[in-house]
Structure 1
Amino acid sequence: MSLQQCRAVWEELEAEFQLLQETHKIYRQKLEEVNTLQTACSNSIQKQTRKLKKLKCSLQGCKHTADVEDANLIQQINTHIKEKQHFFFDMEAYLPKKNGLYLNLVLGNMNVILPTNQAKFAYKDEYEKFKLCLTIILLLGAVACRFILHYRVTDEVFNFLLVWYYCTLTIRESILISNGSRIKGWWVSHHYVSTFLSGVMLTWPDGLIYQLFRNQFLAFSIFQSCVQFLQYYYQSGCLYRLRALGERNPLDLTVEGFQSWMWRGLTFLLPCLFFGHFWQLYNAITLFELSRHEACKEWQVFVLALTFLLLFLGNFLSTLKVVHAKFQKNKGMKKH
C-alpha cells in the first residue's frame, strides 16, 4: 500500500470516527432523556397509587350511607381503580425498581429490568431452554449414579449440580418476576426449598445411613426428571395455544406443578404428579425412621425428613387446591 493510499484510508477512518463520536453523543443524550422519563413515570405511578388507595378507603366509608344510585357509582369507580392497578403493574414491568431482598443479596442493587418485549421474551425462552437441558442432564446423571457409578465423589457432583440448578432457577425466576412474569404461589417457594434440600444432601457424609437412603433418592430423582421432562413439552404446547388466543401472559412459564390453565390435555399427568408427591412423603417417612437408627449420628437425616415433608405438603396441597377449584368451577357451569 502506497503512502497516498494509507492517507486515504486514514482520512476515511477519521471521518468514520467523527460520525461515531456524534452518534455516541446522541446516544448518551437519549439515555439521559430515557432516565428522566423513567423517573417521572415511576414518581407519577407512586403518586397515583397513593391517591387511589385513599380514594378506595373513602369509598369504603361511603358505602354505609349510599343509596342504590350511589352504590352503583361506587362499584363503577372501584372497577376502574382495579383496571388502573393492572395498568400500573404492566407499566412498572418496563421501569427500573428496587430489587427484592433475594436479588439484592445475590446481585446487589443492579437494574434487572429488560428494556423491550423482545428482550423479555428472549430471556424467558432462554430460561425454558436452560430448564429443559438441565432436566435431561440431571436425568442422565441420576441414572449413571444409580446403575453405573457407585462412588461417593460422583454422588457429590450430582448433588452439587442440583444445588447449582435450583439456585440458578431462583435467580432467573426473580429476574422474570421483576420484568412482569406472574409467577406466584407455592411454585416460587418450591425452588428455594429444593435448593436447601440439595444443599443438605451435598453435606451429608458417606456412611451406613447414607447408603441405606442413596438408591431410593436416586430412583426418586430419575422419576422426578422424567415427569418434569414430560411436563415441559406438554405445558409448552398448552401455553403456546393460550398465548395465541390471548388468554395467557406472554411471560408465563412452565412449572413443576399443576395449574388451572393446564387442565386441557394435561390431566393424564395428574396421577404421575400425585405419585411423585407421595414418593416425597415416603422419602420423609424413610428418613424419620433412619434418624431413629442406632447408627445414625448425622443431623442431615432429620433435617432432610422435615424438608421432604414440607415439599410433600406444599406440592400436594397446591395441586389439590387447583383440582378442587376446577371441579367447583365445572359444577357451577353445569348449574347455569
Structure 2
Amino acid sequence: MPPVLTEVLEEWKCLEEEYRKLQEAHRTYLQNLDIISKLQNNCASSISHQRKKLKETSRLVKRCSKGSSGEELTTLDELKEKIKTREHVFFEMEAFLPKKNGLYLSLVLGNVNVTLLSKQAKFAYKDEYETFKLCLTVILLLFSFACYFFVSYRFLDAILNFLLVWYYCTLTIRESILITNGSRIKGWWVFHHYISAFLSGVMLTWPDGTLYKMFRNQFLAYSLYQSFVQCLQCYYQSGCLYRLRALGERHNMDLTVEGFQSWMWKGLTFLLPFLFFGHFWQLFNGLSLFRMARLPDCREWQVLTCGLCFLLLFLGNFFTTLAVVRQKLKSRNQKPKTS
C-alpha cells in the first residue's frame, strides 16, 4: 500500500473517532435541551402559581392590618416586607426564563424568543448596546457638525435624518430586548425614543423650501448640542453605574439613559444645567415652528407636526427630570430628621 494512502486511511480513522464523539455530544446536548425546556415550563408555571397565592395573601394581610395592633401589626409588617422581597426574587428568576414578546417586539420580530439564558450573554448584549449607542452618538455629532459648518446640501441633511430614524428605531428594538432580559429602564425614557424616531422621520420627509431653510440651521445646532450632551452622559453615567454595581447598589442590567435618574445624583449633578438647557431648546424649537406654521406661505404639514413633537419632548423631558430632582432633594432633606 502506498504511504500516501496509508496516511489518508489513518487520517480518516481519526476523523471517524472524532465524528463518533461529536454525535454522542450532540445527542447529549439535545437531551439536555429537552430537560431545560421542561424545567423552564415548570419554573414559569410555579412562579405564576406563587404570584396568585401571594396576591391572595397580600389581600388577607391588608384585611388583618385594619383591626390589629402591637405585636400582630409588627408581624404583619414583616410579612409585607417578605412579600415585596419575594416579588423581587420572581423578577430576577423570570429574567432567565423565556417569555412572550411585548406588542412592539411581536410586531417587529414576531414570536422569536429574545430571552438570553446566561448572565454572560446578557452582559455582553448590554455592553454591545452601550457601545453602539456611544459610537452612533459620536457619528451623529460629527455629521451634524459637518452639515452645520461646512456643507449645505438637502441630500446630506436627508442622510443625517435617515441616520437619526435608523438610530432611534434600533434603540427602541434593542431596549425592548434588554427589558425582556431584566433591564429596568422604563417610563418616559422608553417613550422618548419613539417620539424622537417619529420626529426624525417627519424631518426626513420635509421638502426643501423657504421654511425648511429657515429652520435648518436651528435644527442642526440643536442636533449638534444634543449629541454632545449624550456623549457626556454616556461617559459619566457608565462610570457612575460601574461604581454603584461594584458597591452592590445597582442592578447589573441597568443602562445609561438620555435623561436624569436618581442614581445619577452623586457626581453627575453638573449635567443638570446641560440637560435643562437642552429641554428649553426643545421648547424654543417648538415655538419657532408654531410661529412658522402661522405664516401665510406655510403649506407643509411637517412644520406643525415637528412643532408638536418638540413640545411633547420638552414637556416629558422637563417634568420627568424635575420630578427626579424634587424627589431626590426631598429624600435628602428627610435624612437628617430620621437620624
Give the alignment's TM-score, normalised by structure 2: 0.97
- Aligned ranges 1:210-289 → 2 under 5 Å: 210-289=212-291
How much does 1:218 deviate? 0.2
For 1:154, give the aligned amino acid. L
- Aligned ranges 1:127-276 → 2 under 5 Å: 127-276=129-278
Correspondence for 1:88:
90
Correspondence for 2:7:
5
Whole-angstrom CA distance in 2 between matches of 1:267 and 1:57 = 41
Identity level (%):
61
Gaps of 5+ in 2: none
Task: Pick from 12, 16, 19 the counterpart of residue 17 of structure 1.
Answer: 19
Whole-angstrom CA distance in 1 between matches of 2:45 and 2:334 = 43
For 2:206, give the aligned amino acid. W
For the 8 Å contact 1:208–1:295, the answer to whether it is kept is no
- Aligned ranges 1:313-332 → 2 under 5 Å: 313-332=315-334
- The answer to whether 1:28 aligns with 2:39 is no
Whole-angstrom CA distance in 1 between matches of 2:266 and 2:61 = 41
Whole-angstrom CA distance in 2 between matches of 1:312 and 1:67 = 48
- Aligned ranges 1:8-87 → 2 under 5 Å: 8-87=10-89
- Aligned ranges 1:84-123 → 2 under 5 Å: 84-123=86-125
Q: Secondary structure at the match of 1:2?
A: helix
Q: Deviations over 1:201-240 (max 9, x none)?
A: 1111111111110100000000011111111111111111
RMSD over equivalenced CA pairs, Å: 1.1
For 1:44, give the aligned amino acid. S
For 2:175, give the aligned amino acid. E
Correspondence for 2:311:
309
For 1:216, give the aligned amino acid. Q
Q: Say how many residue pairs are matched.
A: 336
For 2:76, give the aligned amino acid. I
For the 8 Å contact 1:135–1:225, the answer to whether it is kept is yes
Q: Secondary structure at the match of 1:23?
A: helix
Whole-angstrom CA distance in 2 between matches of 1:32 and 1:321 = 48
Q: Secondary structure at the match of 2:270?
A: helix
Whole-angstrom CA distance in 2 between matches of 1:164 and 1:214 = 20
How much does 1:12 deviate? 1.2
Whole-angstrom CA distance in 1 between matches of 2:334 and 2:190 = 30
Whole-angstrom CA distance in 2 between matches of 1:125 and 1:100 = 23
